[in-house]
Chain A
Amino acid sequence: MRFFDASCRLGRPAAFGEGMPWQTDEILEIMARCHIDGALAYHIVAREGETQDGNELLLREIAQIPQLQPQWCALPATYDEFLHADALRDAMKENGVRTLRIAPKSFAHSARPYAMKELMGFAAECRVPVFFDYGEAPCDELYEICHDYPDVSFVITNTAYALNRWLGPVLDACGNLYLGTGNYVPHRGLETFCKYYAADRLVFNTNLPTGSATAAVSLVCFADISKEEKELIAHGNIERLLGEVRL
């Protein structure tokens, strides 16, 4: 079985645990060890500092690394601090960027339509999947985002174990929500998800370098689900979402 990681991060973090591999070649070593063929990657400078500069840094960092595809961090262009929709479309097309990552809590902006209408309108029109960490919009906020933008495919990453009862009703209500499997570790979490929702809404990711690729791969390999479901989770679903992007 081959894996494609729908979300990992590059760049030097402000703080990192002892032995944490954060350099790009270390990330690539782990990917190889875990048989992960490719990954969508964003840059920590874009996520935690200068968004546009960080996105540029990312492009330079992965220019010679075919396994890594760029994921750009995005925020509303309210103060022209980020690209407006037309320019964003051109820039993404030019640079082969097919997904965006938002962080409304960290970037301190509303995720509601009065603030995000332009960006989310672009994502809906171009079928660009939008990623965000669960902590950026937990619980009811997750529902609000998915409900406010029904034509945008959202992938939540960096989830946790005590999530089942929060997540289920949102999945019921919002067909545009996808779950990144990295660190989704409730007991029998993937089996329960497949039984009640469907494997086609699960997207393999690692959350590297803060997350564990070895754990993420193991979760899928040992899940008590069919081989076809595992293939969808491991790579099929993200490949389908990426294939639907129209820039």
Chain B
Amino acid sequence: MDYTKHIFAGAPVDFEVIDVHVHHGANPGYYPGPAGGDDIVHAMGRLGVDICCCTPGATASDFDYFNEQLAKSLDKHPHKLRGYVMITPHDAADPDRWFKRSPGFIGLKSIPFCQGEVSIDDPRLWDYYAYADRRGLPVLVHTWAAPEVEATTRMAEKYPNARFIVAHAALTGSAAKQALIDGMKQCENMACDTAISDTYDGALEWFVDKVGADRVLYGSDFITFECSHILGRVAMSKLTDDEKEKIFSRNARQWLRL
């Protein structure tokens, strides 16, 4: 497939794209515009993205409010949007109520760094991971540096039926990348995404060369960032067509059971 031609057309792409890392709700420091479900779906149409898996809010404040806002959008766009339930170490809430609230919720979002710089493997989060473990759910985990990846690896070992998607770290610093490579080799229930605001051409190819393409999932981090730049970064990379197809959708379908 001529992926470059698709990008240069500037029209909705006609290959399948599943974005596993999208933010539902505005982050006032980043984007001065609306960022709800309708806006996400509009942007998806511009690019030709088929499904977006959304986290509630840009960070992690008032998770009940943002979970509910996302649930409303999941109800409105059941064929386009899926959601992760935001969890918090500061409240032992039962995530089950959100899965009962909307069938669009498919997993959990863990971002304890934004919840008082709590560690990903903090015991206060174990009940949530155990919940994901029991149900075989994906957990999208915000990481950046090596210690966060290593903490995620410990949780992936502890909860082998939960499926951890390590955000960002495949494309951040050397130590984080190495920790992720080690973790993914150690734990088959660890995957990663492509979300990053800024990296260089060749970074994704290098990482895929180390771990293979089977557990690399397309994530854009939009609406925090523009959604098109990651699409082009993957599409016009030097990866093979088969690797691109896996990253754009096949892996997500398998990993998220879509």
Contacts and interface: CB of A to CB of B under 8 A. Distances in A.
Interface of A: 1, 17-21, 30, 33-35, 160-162, 164-165, 183, 185-190, 192, 208-219, 221-224, 230
Contacts of B230: 215
Given A164-B32, A223-B10, 13 more contacts: A20-B203, A33-B238, A161-B225, A183-B197, A187-B226, A208-B201, A214-B232, A214-B237, A218-B229, A218-B231, A218-B232, A221-B10, A230-B10
A230 B9 CA distance: 12
Nearest to B31: A187
Contacts of B33: 187-188, 192
Contacts, number: 133
Contacts of B205: 19
A222 B30 contact: no
A212 B203 CA distance: 10
Nearest to A215: B229
From B225, B228, B230, B233, residue with most partner A Cβ within 10 Å: B228
A187 B233 contact: no
A212 B29 CA distance: 23
B235 A165 contact: no
Nearest to B26: A187
Given A20-B202, A187-B223, A33 B232 contact: no
Contact of B206 (A18, A30, A211, A214): A18
A185 B43 contact: no
Given A186-B30, A187-B227, A188-B226, A160 B197 contact: yes
Size category of the B interface is: 35 or more
A188 B198 CA distance: 16
A18 B9 CA distance: 31
Contacts of B202: 19-21
Nearest to A217: B232
B203 A17 contact: yes
Contacts of A209: 200-201
